[in-house]
Structures are given as structure tokens and as C-alpha cells.
Amino acid sequence: MRIGELAGRTGVSVRALRYYEEQGLLTSERSESGQRRYAANAVDRVRLIQQLYGAGISSASILEMLPCVLTGVAAPDVLAKLHGHRSSVVQQIEELQETLLQLDSVIAGATEAYATGKPCPPR
Amino acid sequence: MRIGELAGRTGVSVRALRYYEEQGLLTSERSESGQRRYAANAVDRVRLIQQLYGAGISSASILEMLPCVLTGVAAPDVLAKLHGHRSSVVQQIEELQETLLQLDSVIAGATEAYATGKPCPPR
DNA sequence: TAGAAACCTGACATTGACGTCAGAGGTAGC
DNA sequence: GCTACCTCTGACGTCAATGTCAGGTTTCTA
């Protein structure tokens, strides 16, 4: 498929796809005229990249772990980094869960205040 | 306390604290010579700001919701935005949890491959 | 076989949350 | 009062993941 279709299927912009290639995260065949052609599994690849980006992992780190993700083989140092990223994701989740509690208490307080017309006691 | 102490207590840089003030997120008294003086509760305020930043909430949105967080009162539109941010945080958590599963499966596969010396079947 | 739509490369622009530096003034311990 | 450190404002730099634009080629559709 061509780049526009891949963009449409993944919801990622054409510019971003070219950027991924620039970073070595995504490869493509080229037609005779030089246009990019992608295999069907490129869709999954792009989604994986997006997911890792979403976890705050940099393109350099993604590049490092991609072969491992694709082949299942990892050098010990890469494996160590994978563990590092894992802990960072766990920590992010924990922090977000705490933030969620905060937001909930704010929302609850504000909703009640709005219903009763009385401001809640300041924290 | 002065800005350096606040920075030390919160782990946030002096530059960032001035930036928060610039954005209206943090206020300070000024000494006669113009130096910032913070009340003790500024520590909590800074931590709250950091937490909201960590949830990917922009300074503009934080500015909007701060009075509500502090006083417990919220106009209906602000309340709606709070709900919006809440859902976004929930979604982030879900996505990160999925990423965690992916990472775990990669780590498990790579660990086994390293132990047995055999690459896992490509996905 | 037009003409529109998609694609190419290359380069500069953007965004947000700061880092960093310069030059000047404030503060605290000895 | 010296000295070392802290603070001030203002301004430019940074970084990563794109957006956007220009100027040209390719591909699809009527």
C-alpha cells in the first residue's frame, strides 16, 4: 500500500510516517519512481510505534528495542533497558492513578458545592 | 521561604518555578528588594501542578481548574472540562496497561530466547 | 489525455516546558 | 566589609515529534 493509505489506516499523518522512516523505525520498499510501498503488517508496526511513543519512550529507545520485539531476541543490555522501561511505565500508571483520585475528589467536591450552593471547606 | 528553598523541597528547578508564576499557576509575595517569598503551602501547590503536568494537562487547563481545586467551587463549564480530563487520564491508564502487557510479553520472550539460545518465532 | 490528487525531497516553523547565560543587585556568615 | 552564594529580569537555546510550505514528479480518474 502507499503512504496515504497507511496514514488513513493508522490515523497517523503522512509526515509522521516519513519521520518514522527517517528515524529507522519503519521501512518501506520503493516503486520504480521512488514512491514508498508498505506491506500489510506495516499497520501493526505503526501502531506499536505509537503505543511506545505513548508510553513516553523515545524514538532512539524504540529503535533499540524494535528488533527485539520483532525477532524475540535481545542482548542483555537491551533486556535491561526493557526492564527499565517497564518500571517507568508502571510508575506512570501509579502516578496517573493517584492523579485520578485527586481529580475525583475535586470533581466530587465541586459537584456537591454546585448542587448545594455552598463552597466546600478549603483544603 | 525563598525560591531556592522551594525548589529544593519540591525537586523542581528554580527556572520552572518562575515559569509557573509566569503562567499564573503559582503566586508569591515579594520582599522589598523584589525577591519572591513563598508561604509553606506553596510546596503542596507545586506538587499538585507537577502531578497535573504529569497527566498531560496543559498549563492553560491547570490554570482554569486551579481555583476550583483550591476553593472547591466550579462553574459548570469547568466541571465539564474536569470530567474531560478525568476520562483522558483513565484512557491514558488503559493504554499504558496495554503497553505494559506488550512489554511483558516481549521481555518474557526475549528472556527465554536468551536462556535457551533459540530465537522465538517472529510475530 | 487532461487535470486532480497523491507523492517526492528539503527546509524552515511550531509547541511547551523548561535550560542557560549575561549582567546586575541582594543576603548571610565571618 | 569581604566573599560566596542567592536572586532578579530578559532573552535566546533546546528537544522531539510533527506541521507546513515550495517546487517538482507520479498516479489515478473522468
The CA distance from A55 to B7, in Å, is 27
Length of chain B, in residues:
123
Say how far apart CA A112 and CA A120 lie, in whole Å. 8
Most B CBs within 10 Å: which of A57, A100, A103, as the mutation test of the B interface? A103
Domain boundary among the residues B49, B71, B93 is at B71
CATH number of the domain that residue B37 is part of? 1.10.1660.10
The verdict on B12 and B66 lying in the same domain is yes
Distance from CA of B30 to the nearest CA of A (A): 24
Please check whether residues A40 and A84 belong to one and the same domain.
no
Q: How does DSSP assign A42-86, residue by residue?
A: HHHHHHHHHHHHHTT--HHHHHHHHHHHHHS---HHHHHHHHHHH
Q: Do residue A48 and residue A82 come from a single domain?
A: no
One domain for residues A107 and A91? yes
What pLDDT is attached to residue A118? 61
Mean pLDDT of A63-83: 86
Question: What is the overall mean pLDDT for chain B?
Answer: 90
One domain, residues B27 and B61: yes
pLDDT attached to residue A109: 86
pLDDT averaged over every residue in chain A: 89
What's the domain range around B13? Answer: 1-71
Q: Are residues B35 and B83 in the same domain?
A: no
- Dist CA B75 CA A40 (whole Å): 49
Band (pLDDT 50/70/90 cuts) for residue B122 is: very low
Chain A residues 26-85 with a CB less than 8 Å from chain B: 48, 51-52, 54-55, 65, 68-74, 76, 78-79, 82-83, 85
Of chain B, the end-to-end C-alpha distance in Å amounts to 57
Q: Give me the number of domains chain A comprises.
A: 2
Q: Which of A68, A60, A65, A51 is nearest to A10 (CA)?
A: A51
Give per-residue pLDDT as tens, A51-67.
999 898 999 999 988 88
The pLDDT of residue B121 is above 90: no
Tens of pLDDT, residues B13-60: 999 999 999 999 999 999 999 999 999 999 999 999 999 999 989 999
What letters, b where the CB count within 10 A reaches 16 and e where it falls short, cover A3-16?
beebbeebebeeeb
Provide the pLDDT for residue A116.
75
Rounded CA separation B39/B29 (Å) = 8
Q: What is the rounded CA–CA span in Å between residue A39 and residue B105? A: 24
Chain B CB contacts of A119 under 8 Å are 71-73
B85 and B122 within one domain? yes
Write the residue in B51, B109, B110 that is nearest to A99 by C-beta: B51
